[in-house]
Amino acid sequence: MEDPKEVTTVQAATTLISTIIGVGVLPLPLFAVRAGDTGAPFITLLGIGIAAFGLFVVTKLGLRHSDKTIITYSEDILGKWLGRFFSLFVIVFFSILTALAAREFGAVVITAVLLETPLEVTVIVMLLLAAISARNTMNTFAYIHNFYIPIILAPVLIIVALSLKNANFLYVRPFISSGLHDSFFGALTIAALFQGSFIMTLIIPSMKNPKSAMKAGWWAIFISGGLYLLLVLATVAIFGAEEIKRLYWPTLELARTTSLPGNILQRLDVIFISVWVIAVFTTIFASYFLTIHSVKQLFRLQDHKMLAYFMLPFIFILAMLPQNIVQLYDVIKIAGRAGLIVTILYPMLLYIIDAMKSKRRKKGESKQA
Amino acid sequence: MSLNKHRWRQILLLLIIMSLLTGCWDSREIEKRATILAIGIDNAEHNAKNEEDEVNHLKGANQIPNERMIELTVQMAIPGRIPLGPQIGAGDKSPVLVIQAVGHTIEDALLNIQQEVATEIFLGHLRLIILNEEVARAGVGRFTDYLRRNPQIRRTASLVISKEKASEYMNIKPELERVPSLYLAEMVDSLVQLGKFPPTFIGMFWSILSSKGQEPYLPYFKIKGKANIQINGLAYFKGDKMVGKTKPLQIGGFMAGIGAEKGGYALFIKIPDLEQAVLVRAVERKTRVKASMKNGKPHILLKVRYECEIEEVESVNPSNIKAEDLQILEKNFSSEATRALETLIVETQEVKSDIFGFGEHFRAKLPNYWNNQVKTKENWQDIYQNLAYDVEIKTKIRRTGMKAK
């Protein structure tokens, strides 16, 4: 019944990277600047730190139960019913995350690119794509992510490199300009953009060599975090903190300000948007995949394929709930921070209980001997 | 049974194909767009309110803005008449259409124009926005909101100030290029490349306008002769209001102040012994700005290093420039440039317009001072007025051209 374990270390890392890099790329500099003014890169760094810690805990926990996911081993650790109860939260949260990502994607597309297209159409097309792709097995899932990674990374790097000629590095100084309170909450908002890394718990059981999961995790955080940091640094250096506060999607503006040398393309937002659609797809795909696999495991189902379509209407309705863009970003902020409880605090709790349990077991064994 | 199954499949296939072949909601053929290439904004006549058609609001409506009305002149591309690449002896029909309308805001005026044009207005190719000096002096902040909010507008479009009415620029017919607005936009770009003006585009203007320690600046255009346009100086702002303009040569001094690398302006320097005037042109410069506190007061030290070349020596007799002469030239160029820069600083200090962005240096490098004593843009404007500064300029002349004697 189980899939063959074929996911390699590189595939695990690329899956994580393309899952992490998603819709959040666009408002990222705005979130960072709101919390830290010119210290936005520093806030981003803090956020990456928190995210890395979260991924570390999830991986460590996964390695202790390398055949199971968080849905199944939480039952071992917390007991059947308590484990299932918490698993429900994981499922609900990732449904919401999928829905919000799809909705944010739709919001950007109808404001910036396709002004006549109805919001519902952009959202449902994206969700449908994710649902169809989510019918695949874990190995295909990893292949798809691996395939898209160069297309996601390269254009962003090119845009950053080309845009730097207008940079004014006075804008990123002083490096630390916000108080402890603001910095911490700002870092949490940034860390929330990394929540896709929770997919690690699903990858580990399918890995050829689960021991190298930790290595894959570090690489993933290093590359995606590095890209985020670079983006924040570039946008702040080009627009300045004060200007960024007036823009919803500073990264998109960065692409609009950048032109290819020699007037081949006078604005790069067209390229950026098409790349970004892929990045958003991989993210929604991953969280959708995680959601239906969690449901499958929770209810001990044999197959996840039918679930893919079954979940679609629920997620679509969730995506349509926010009334406008202002409300949407309020919801995203709250959901993001609340999600950290699910993706970092909950695994931490599991880990502590698990560690204590095995210690006690060891003690008991040595006493018996 | 199996036939039924097949039919069911066929219907499904048809449905899928139908949903996939619907095409794009936003598709619009290029000739169905009214592509606006340039916009000129002037103040409207005082009685414009009465002449306004009731397109966006009825007369006497009480929710309309109180600011003075504007007159918007747009240059619209006529489909099929924009030449792709150089053409010789193309028809004498104008490739652009000029339309004018009044309104309370940009969008208000654009909607008035839309009412007269059959195709949908498209701003994605807008290259140039010209603001009349009077409008700029009253404040440009009222226009920035629309331009930032509209996703079609490019951040790389140019924004310039004009001495004459902006509508005159829309009607001008330059000989060098078929499309007038493209010529004007190219002009801004190439002047930046020639070192005649620091890099400028609307996105940069906004960034500087938003920043706390710098005031924005824009190129200032003037019509010369029948169809020529000259960069006649640099318009400087305090907040969003234009407060003055420099002479064209002072742009060179300004570029030294902000550290623009490319030099483009030349000065006449006399060698005392030879009684000959030498035209020395700046090629490259490096600027270092040092912000510090002296006796509890902010102080700016500007260090500029010029690299120059000799372009022309005004002489009837053979001139022989020796190494010592070069040293004198270098020294005199330095003192001339220092004087030019200092005059500009004094002029901008009078109107509290820190176009050099010295405030940004204090904000970035001395955050304690900034957070305790400055904080806002307004405070910095007051401090800038009495800012102490020193200018140190060093010049090196590397090349003298092909002539030995």
Q: pLDDT tens across A226-248, in order?
A: 999 999 999 999 998 889 999 88
Which amino acid, residue B110? L
Tokens in use for B191?
């002047």
- Map tokens 């305790």 to a residue: B372
Measure in Å the smallest separation between the Cα of B400 and chain A Cα atoms: 31
Q: Which of B156, B158, B370 to mutate to test the interface with A (most CBs of A within 10 A)?
A: B156
Same domain? For B49 and B130 the reply is: yes
| pLDDT tens digits, one per residue of A276-316 | 889 999 999 999 999 999 999 888 888 888 888 888 999 99
Q: Could you tell me the CATH number of the domain that includes residue B270? A: 3.30.300.210
More confident residue, B23 or B404: B404
Cα–Cα dist B348/B355, whole Å: 8
Residue-averaged pLDDT of chain B: 84
- Would you say residue B202 lies in a domain? yes
| pLDDT tens digits, one per residue of A244-269 | 999 888 998 888 888 777 667 777 77
What SS3 state is found at A58? helix
- Would you say residue B275 lies in a domain? yes
Alpha-helical segments (H) within B47-196: 48-51, 106-114, 133-138, 141-149, 166-171, 180-193
Residues from chain B that touch A177, judged by Cβ atoms under 8 A, are 367
Same domain? For B256 and B177 the reply is: no
Q: Which residue in A has a C-alpha nearest to residue B206's C-alpha?
A: A243
* B41 bridge partner residues: B72, B131
Number of domains chain B is built from: 2
Residues from chain B that touch A257, judged by Cβ atoms under 8 A, are 155-156, 203
Are the C-beta atoms of residues A202 and A289 closer than 8 Å to each other?
A: yes
Tell me, rounded to whole angstroms, the distance of Cα B59 from its chain centroid: 36
Pick the CATH number of A9-353 from 1.20.1740.10, 1.10.3210.10, 1.10.10.10, 3.30.565.10: 1.20.1740.10
Residues from chain B that touch A245, judged by Cβ atoms under 8 A, are 210
| pLDDT tens digits, one per residue of B362-395 | 988 888 888 888 888 889 998 998 889 999 999 8
User: Considering B212, B245, B278, which residue would you say is the last residue of a domain?
Assistant: B245
Q: Which of A169, A242, A266 to mutate to test the interface with B (most CBs of B within 10 A)?
A: A242
- Long-range contacts of the stretch A93-96 (C-beta < 8 A, 24+): A93/A335, A93/A338, A93/A339, A93/A342, A93/A343, A94/A198, A94/A287, A94/A290, A94/A291, A94/A294, A95/A291, A95/A311, A95/A314, A95/A315, A95/A318, A96/A318, A96/A335, A96/A339
Torsion angle of the four alpha carbons A346, A351, A354, A356, in this order, in degrees rounded to the nearest 10: -110
Touching check for A263 and chain B: CB below 8 Å? no
CB nearest B210 (choices: A166, A246, A259): A246
pLDDT at B89 over 70: no
Same domain? For B211 and B259 the reply is: no
| pLDDT tens digits, one per residue of A162-211 | 888 888 888 888 888 777 888 898 899 999 999 888 999 889 988 888 88
Burial of A201 (0-12, 13-18, 19+ CB in 10 A): buried
Tokens in use for A20?
């992490």
Tokens in use for A87?
């698993």
Cα–Cα dist A231/A247, whole Å: 15
pTM, entire model: 0.88
Angle at A87 between CA A85 and CA A88, to 5 degrees: 70
Tell if the CB–CB gap between B357 and A253 is shorter than 8 Å: no
- Would you say residue B299 lies in a domain? yes
Same domain? For B224 and B293 the reply is: no
| pLDDT tens digits, one per residue of B264-307 | 788 888 777 767 788 888 888 888 999 888 888 899 999 999 88
What SS3 state is found at B268? strand
Measure in Å the smallest separation between the Cα of A276 and chain B Cα atoms: 17
Torsion angle of the four alpha carbons A157, A162, A165, A167, in this order, in degrees rounded to the nearest 10: -40
Measure in Å the smallest separation between the Cα of A217 and chain B Cα atoms: 36
pLDDT at A37 over 80: yes
- When pLDDT is averaged across residues B239-258 and rounded to a whole number, the result is 88
Touching check for A177 and chain B: CB below 8 Å? yes
More confident residue, B158 or B6: B158
DSSP state letters, B56-88: SS-TT-SSS--SPPEEEEEEEEPTT-S-SS--S
Same domain? For B185 and B255 the reply is: no
Tell if the CB–CB gap between A240 and B361 is shorter than 8 Å: no
* pLDDT band at residue B92 under the 50/70/90 scheme: low
Same domain? For B142 and B156 the reply is: yes
- Would you say residue B11 lies in a domain? no
More confident residue, B303 or B51: B303
Are the C-beta atoms of residues B177 and B84 closer than 8 Å to each other?
A: no
pLDDT at A222 over 90: yes
Touching check for A242 and chain B: CB below 8 Å? yes
| pLDDT tens digits, one per residue of A63-121 | 988 888 888 888 888 888 898 999 999 999 999 999 999 999 999 988 888 888 888 88
What SS3 state is found at B2? helix
Q: Which residue in A has a C-alpha nearest to residue B204's C-alpha?
A: A239
Residues from chain A that touch B365, judged by Cβ atoms under 8 A, are 173-174
Residues 6+ apart with CB under 8 A from A302: A1
User: Considering B193, B221, B245, which residue would you say is the last residue of a domain?
Assistant: B245
* pLDDT band at residue B87 under the 50/70/90 scheme: low
- When pLDDT is averaged across residues B348-357 and rounded to a whole number, the result is 90
Domain extent listing, chain A:
9-353
Q: Which of B127, B205, B210 to mutate to test the interface with A (most CBs of A within 10 A)?
A: B210
CA distances from B107 to A113, A233, B209 (A): 19, 34, 22
Touching check for A166 and chain B: CB below 8 Å? yes
What SS3 state is found at B362? helix
* pLDDT band at residue B252 under the 50/70/90 scheme: confident
Tell if the CB–CB gap between A253 and B203 is shorter than 8 Å: yes
User: Considering B193, B218, B245, which residue would you say is the last residue of a domain?
Assistant: B245
Tokens in use for B260?
């623009």
pLDDT at B36 over 70: yes
CB nearest A114 (choices: B26, B206, B360): B26
Cα–Cα dist B150/B146, whole Å: 6
Are the C-beta atoms of residues B75 and B129 closer than 8 Å to each other?
A: no
Same domain? For B77 and B212 the reply is: yes
Measure in Å the smallest separation between the Cα of A51 and chain B Cα atoms: 29
Measure in Å the smallest separation between the Cα of A45 and chain B Cα atoms: 20
| pLDDT tens digits, one per residue of B205-240 | 999 999 888 999 999 999 888 778 888 889 999 988
DSSP state letters, A199-258: GHHHHGGGBSSGGGHHHHHHHHHHHHHHHHHHHHHHHHHHH-HHHHTT-S-HHHHHHHH-
Residues 6+ apart with CB under 8 A from A138: A3, A7, A202, A203, A206
Cα–Cα dist B72/B121, whole Å: 14
Which domain does B357 fall in, by range?
A: 250-399
Residues from chain B that touch A259, judged by Cβ atoms under 8 A, are 156
Q: What is the pLDDT of residue B176?
A: 79
Cis bond before residue B83 (omega within 30° of 0) = no
Residues from chain A that touch B360, judged by Cβ atoms under 8 A, are 168, 170-171
- Would you say residue B1 lies in a domain? no
Q: What is the pLDDT of residue B131?
A: 92
Measure in Å the smallest separation between the Cα of A242 and chain B Cα atoms: 6
pLDDT at B323 over 50: yes
Measure in Å the smallest separation between the Cα of B61 and chain A Cα atoms: 28
Radius of gyration of chain A (CA): 21
* pLDDT band at residue A1 under the 50/70/90 scheme: very low
Q: What is the pLDDT of residue A255?
A: 86
- Would you say residue B22 lies in a domain? no
Angle at A286 between CA A283 and CA A291, to 5 degrees: 125
Tell me, rounded to whole angstroms, the distance of Cα A301 from its chain centroid: 26
Return the closest-CA partner of residue B325 out of B283, B282, B284, B270.
Answer: B270
Q: What is the pLDDT of residue B3?
A: 58
Q: What is the pLDDT of residue B129?
A: 92
Return the closest-CA partner of residue A322 out of A143, A99, A47.
Answer: A99
